[in-house]
Amino acid sequence: MKRRVILLALCAVLVVGVVVAVTLTARRFSDDGEPAAQGAVTPAETPAASTEAAVLNGWQKVGGDEFDGSKLDTKNWDVYDGDNSVKESWSKKQCAVSGGVLTMTGLGSESGTTCGLAWKSDQTFGRWEVRARMPLPADAGYAPTFLLWGSDDANFPDAGEIDFSETWNPARQFTESWLHGPGNLKGPYFKSNPVDLTQWHNFGVDWQADKITLYLDGQVWGVYSDPKYIPRTPMHLVLQLTYMTKHAGAPQQTSAQVDWARVYR
């Protein structure tokens, strides 16, 4: 039976899985031991017609959220709420919708209470795109993260994880991508070339059976093509402002904003 996060206890299960994976990523790839990126591609000048991968490649939209209301659409999103076994703290109060924008805010307290939400519909293969910006100031412990997560939460890492944009650097001047699974935490990795993420940008991913393509403003910046790392079971979109302690004392309050998130065939 497909699990949905409705009660606090069930929400904690989802959060544990996703956060443990992202936390392990952050600890493996610290500033002291960052792996060599897999030939990150410098985004070309954005075509005047569009900066969306979906428009440039003719993707067929099947769902998404424009965040046009005054609150999150809980018919389509599961919103994290509560603490979990790895001491991560999530609150739906940290996820605010106003003026056509979702703002995810991480508190400036030692709890690191922050925002995370998961799209309720799963699909095997497809395309996703998120328009977002990451304002300053930002704490090194908060990372805006856009990822695909397996529908079988209890089966990580076998179900896989596709982090198509994960931004730990507090200057918000580049993003990174990790591919976990199936069955491992040490999959391949990409680091983008410099880009000012305090401005609005489009982050896309095209997940197919033979490869996974990363897009930034409609331009390819990485391709995963080793079949042993490509997930082949249903996944869904997750948006979260991940927190991990990076220094003593309370972190600086940090936010990330999402204009829209769209799902495509």
3-state DSSP of 213-258? EEEECCEEEEEECCHHHCCCCCEEEEEEEEECCCCCCCCCCEEEEE
Query: Which uninterrupted H or E stretch holds 93?
Result: none
Residue range 135-188, pLDDT digits in tens: 999 999 999 999 999 998 888 888 899 999 999 999 999 999 999 988 788 889
Residues 6+ apart with CB under 8 A from 215: 53, 129, 202, 203, 204, 205, 206, 221
Pairing of strands 126-133, 116-119: unpaired
Q: What is the CATH number of domain 8-30+46-264?
A: 2.60.120.200
* pLDDT given for residue 2 in this prediction: 35
Model pTM above 0.95:
no
Q: Report how far residue 182's alpha carbon sits from residue 192's, in angstroms, rounded to the nearest whole number.
A: 24
Ranges of residues in the chain with a pLDDT under 70 are: 1-48, 84-86
* pLDDT given for residue 37 in this prediction: 53
Residue range 19-42, pLDDT digits in tens: 444 444 444 333 434 444 554 544
Q: Report how far residue 247's alpha carbon sits from residue 112's, in angstroms, rounded to the nearest whole number.
A: 12
* pLDDT given for residue 250 in this prediction: 96
Domain boundaries, the chain: 8-30+46-264
